[in-house]
Amino acid sequence: MAYKEFDFEIISSDGKKTSLKIEFLCIKIPNYGERTFLKGHVDYVASLDVSSFYVKEKEKGKHTYFAISGGILSVKQDKIIILADTFETREEIDKDRAINEKERAEKLLSQIDNDDKLMVENAEFSLKKAINRLSLL
């Protein structure tokens, strides 16, 4: 089925930016589950957790997968913008680096005192990001 194309941008906090013409975006919204957005969708704003999502590129006719570490989704009728803390496409993910980050976070979690809530939260966040990135490979 052919969909009408519209603009998609994802921008990270460090200035990395990707712009595409897409047919749809499929993404998980915290507390609402997976949602698909097409051209002409009613305006919508949501916060995003560490997760992955995909778009269908109009020009290439393929799905492009992204891993993000949280952010904000803004949907307008003819454009979707994601302001992400960080993002990578599936092709950009370094598998060895993600595995090392996962192992490092697991080791840290096993060694730190559970009373140090900030250290625990940081290690859990690192582990969640690594697992999310690896899930796309």
Check pLDDT > 70 for residue 1: no
- DSSP string spanning 24-66? EEEEEETTTEEEEEETTPPPEEEEEEEEEEEEEETTT-SEEEE
pLDDT of residue 77: 87
Q: Mean pLDDT of all residues in the chain? A: 94
- pTM for this prediction: 0.91
**For 29-50, how does the pLDDT look when each residue is reduced to its tens digit (9 = 90+)?**
999 999 999 999 999 999 999 9
pLDDT of residue 17: 98
pLDDT of residue 134: 97
The residue ranking higher by pLDDT, 15 or 59, is: 15
